Amino acid sequence: MKKQIVFFQLFMLLFCSSVQAIDANISFATFKGINQNNYIEIYLQVIANSIQVDKVESFYAAEVEATLLFKQGEEIIAYDKSILSLPDKITKRIPDLSLIDMKRINLPNGKYQLEIILKDLKNASNVKTYTKEIVMEYGIEKTTISDIQLLENFISVDQTSKYVKHGFFLKPYTYNFYPSFVNHIAFFAEIYNTDVDLKNDYIMRFYIRKTGMNNPPITGFMGVRKHQPKTVNPVLMQMDIAKLPTGIYDLVIEIFNNENQKISSKALKINRNHSEDFQLKNYEDADLENSFTQKLNLDELKMGIKSLSPILMDEEAGFMKLALDSKEENTYRKFLHHFWSQFNEITPESPYEKYMKKVAFANNNYGSAFDDGYETDRGYIYLKYGKPNDIVEQYNESIAPPYEVWFYNQLSSKQGITKFVFYNPSLAPNNFVLLHSNARSEIQNPQWLNELYKNMDPQSPKDAWDNNSFQEHVGGGQAKTIFDQY
Number of domains in the chain: 3
Residue 280's pLDDT band (cuts 50, 70, 90)? very low
* Residue-level pLDDT at 403: 95
| Residue 354 and residue 396 in one domain | no
Name the range with the highest mean pLDDT among 90-94, 179-183, 262-266: 262-266
Question: Do 50 and 131 share a structural domain?
Answer: yes
pTM exceeds 0.75, yes or no: no
Whether 415 is in a domain gets the answer yes
Note the pLDDT of residue 92: 60
Q: What is the CATH number of the domain that holds 78?
A: 2.60.40.10
CA–CA separation, 77 vs 168, rounded Å?
Answer: 31
Same domain, 402 and 348: no
Considering only residues 168 and 246, tell me which one the structure prediction assigns the higher pLDDT. 168
The last residue of a domain, from among 122, 138, 154: 138
Q: Judge whether 157 lies within some domain.
A: no
pLDDT at site 410 = 80
Based on the domain organization, do 15 and 126 belong to the same domain?
yes
Statement: residue 109 has pLDDT above 60 = yes
pLDDT at 20 over 60: no
**Nearest-10 crossing angle of helices 349-366, 377-385:** 140
- Same domain flag for 441 and 333: no
Whether residue 404 is found in the same domain as residue 430: yes
Q: What is the DSSP letter of 86?
A: P
Residue 151 is which amino acid? L
348 and 398 fall within a common domain: no
User: Is residue 199 one of the residues assigned to a domain?
Assistant: no
Residues 439 and 310 in one domain: no
Question: Does 2 fall in a domain?
Answer: yes
Q: What DSSP string runs through 220-252?
A: EEEEEEEE---SEEEEEEEEE-TTPPSEEEEEE
- Looking at per-residue pLDDT, the higher value among 484 and 169 belongs to 169
- End residue of a domain, out of 341, 370, 399: 370
97, amino acid identity: L
Domain boundary among 318, 339, 370: 370
Does 188 map to a domain? no
Note whether residue 74 is domain-resident: yes
pLDDT bucket at 274, cuts 50 / 70 / 90: low
d(C-alpha 309, C-alpha 379), whole Å: 11
Q: What pLDDT score does 8 carry?
A: 29
Do residue 304 and residue 355 come from a single domain?
Answer: yes
Looking at the structure, do residues 356 and 436 belong to the same domain, yes or no? no
Comparing 179 with 188, the larger pLDDT belongs to 188
Q: Compute CA distances 328 → 253, 302, 323, 325, 349, whole Å.
A: 29, 11, 8, 8, 21
Residue 275 lies in a domain: no
Domain of 322?
280-370
Q: What is the CA radius of gyration of the chain?
A: 27
DSSP 412: B
Is 186 a member of any domain? no
Average pLDDT over residues 52-73: 87
Q: Which tens digits make up the pLDDT trace of 191-216?
A: 999 999 898 999 999 999 998 888 99
Residues 342 and 411 reside in one and the same domain: no
In terms of domains, do 408 and 472 share one? yes
Q: Which of 201, 194, 195, 255 is nearest to 224 (CA)?
A: 255
**Tens digits of per-residue pLDDT, 290-311?**
889 999 999 999 999 999 988 8
